[in-house]
Amino acid sequence: MRAIQLVTQGQPGTFELRELPDLEPGTDDVVIRVHACGLNHLDLWLEAAGLPLAVTLPRTPGCEAAGVIERVGVSVAGWRPGDRVAVQSNLTCGECEYCQRGDDSMCLRAELLGIQRDGGFAEQLCVPQRAVSRLPAAVSFEASAALTLAGSTAMHMLTNRATVRPGDWVLAMAGASGVGSSAIQIAGGLGARVISTGSTPEKRSLATQLGAEFVVDSTDATWPAEVRRITGKRGVDLVIEHIGGDVLAKCFD
């Protein structure tokens, strides 16, 4: 099988298209024929050595993969060759205290696909069976790959970490980003009134197209006052904040 591998880190790093042996599933693994893989900011951080993680090179990047199961390990139950699947980006252990209580995203022994093990910029991908989800026929591989990490993060924030009721004001930060663009659409689907932010007219226009009722210019330091004005000095019910630093502090204004 062929894979794109990062050979040396840098800005830009060095990539090579390589011919590698076909993957063999371990007893609990599935081997997937990759049909689409998203390009996530994690891939750029991997390339530029910008992650606080030890990385072994060469490494096949790609943390947002979707495809069709090709082979299964001997103890795999419930999955067969031919099944369409989405692949989780964060490969969790399923055994630690956090996994046991359903907080998989806090897993103590998680591995990031495409960072700590080879990812989806390849014709084949091998992951434990618990890392795959069934992909409905109506969802394309490309849409799945675009949603895997950013989309699931926004979904988790809006439906597990918080409750959105119809009519609530939701401020979705950075509406043109992966998490922000997903959050606008999910919040809108839950009946919220959505405000978003963007640093350029193009980004603000995209946020509007995705369903934001109002957009504010994040390069204007008075944007929190603008949000207060839009909401009649009431403020918003929920902020989807995924940027951090000064921006997080500004959200409280």
Binding residues for Zn ion (CB under 5 A): 92-93, 96, 99, 107
Closer to Zn ion by CB, 107 or 236: give it: 107
Helices (H), 48-164: 97-100, 141-147, 150-155
Distance CA 16, CA 197 (A): 38
CB-based contact 145:36 (threshold 8 Å): yes
Closer to Zn ion by CB, 7 or 106: give it: 106
Shortest separation between residue 29's beta carbon and Zn ion, angstroms: 17
Closer to Zn ion by CB, 97 or 253: give it: 97
Q: How would you list the strands of the sheet with 29-38, edge to edge?
A: 124-128, 29-38, 64-72, 84-87, 132-134
**CA nearest neighbour of 11 among 49, 38, 58, 43:** 49
Closer to Zn ion by CB, 110 or 239: give it: 110
Shortest separation between residue 207's beta carbon and Zn ion, angstroms: 35
Coil vs helix vs strand at 198: strand
Pairing of strands 84-87, 64-72: antiparallel
Closer to Zn ion by CB, 18 or 130: give it: 130
The DSSP H or E segment spanning 180 is helix 178-189
Shortest separation between residue 106's beta carbon and Zn ion, angstroms: 8
Shortest separation between residue 107's beta carbon and Zn ion, angstroms: 3
Shortest separation between residue 158's beta carbon and Zn ion, angstroms: 23
